[in-house]
Amino acid sequence: MPGLTGTEFFEQMIKINPDPIRILLTGYSDIASVIDAINKGEVYRFIDKPWNIEQIKNSIKNAADIFFMRRELKEKTIKLQKLHSEMNQFVYSLSHELRGPLMSISGISKLAKLEISDPNALEYFEMIDTATGKLDDFIYKMLDFYRSTKIDHKITEIHFQEIVNQQMEAYREKFDLTHFKVDVQVNQQIPFFCDEAKIRVILNNFSAMLSSFKKSMADKNGLALL
């Protein structure tokens, strides 16, 4: 190949199609050629003269096994990514479709309790509120589980004060915290990098704790959450 060595050819080939497994047959056996072939041409096997036909056969067979294994892995990865995308759409669609009617039931139940005085009827509506609350908690846990096991991980700088404030707003919308004094103190002095979704999963676990405290400490004057 006038003006182009085998290593340079492989180096250019990688830019066009990196999938094929590269085997370099050459009459040069100096160490510099070997290093260039490995580093620049990403060569799987470096075979110099005199060539051994059995060695070449074995190298080709092993290279073919690696090639087909990589191709199968690539196809499975594409299928897995597609499945993950479909699962993502399904989970969020399901949560939306479930929470809409659920919040309607909860709202109607609360309005009904304001208009009736029959103790038995009030008890029934309390049971409805309890059941809807449990189902809503289950939906949150399902979403948290999905977020914690998702394939893609996006690492970004975490600003805990901002995230905690957002989570507390969500808790206030979900729970009646009028009987609680919530004191949030964030002392972040250095940058922190992580997957924000997983941080939110950890913080969302406090929702179950707040729900339990709401039931067991409704008559208390304060709660400090540090």
Domain boundaries defined on the chain: 6-72, 77-152, 153-226
Q: At what angle do helices 196-216 and 160-174 cross, to 10 degrees?
A: 40
| Average pLDDT estimate for 155-167 | 86
Highest mean pLDDT among 1-15, 28-42, 63-77, 191-205: 63-77
Q: Judge whether residue 30 has pLDDT over 70.
A: no
Q: What percent of the chain has pLDDT over 70?
A: 77
Q: Judge whether residue 151 has pLDDT over 60.
A: no
**What pLDDT sits at residue 218?**
46
Task: Give the count of beta carbons closer than 10 Å to the beta carbon of residue 182.
Answer: 13
| CATH number, domain 6-72 | 3.40.50.2300
Task: Give the count of beta carbons closer than 10 Å to the beta carbon of residue 46.
Answer: 22
Total number of residues shown for the chain: 226
pTM: 0.42
Q: What is the pLDDT of residues 9-23, one digit of tens each?
A: 777 878 888 888 888
Q: What is the distance between the alpha carbons of residues 214 and 226, in angstroms, rounded to a whole number?
A: 17
E strand spans, the chain: 23-26, 45-48, 155-157, 193-195
CA angle 135, 138, 143 (to 5 degrees): 130
Mean pLDDT of the chain: 77
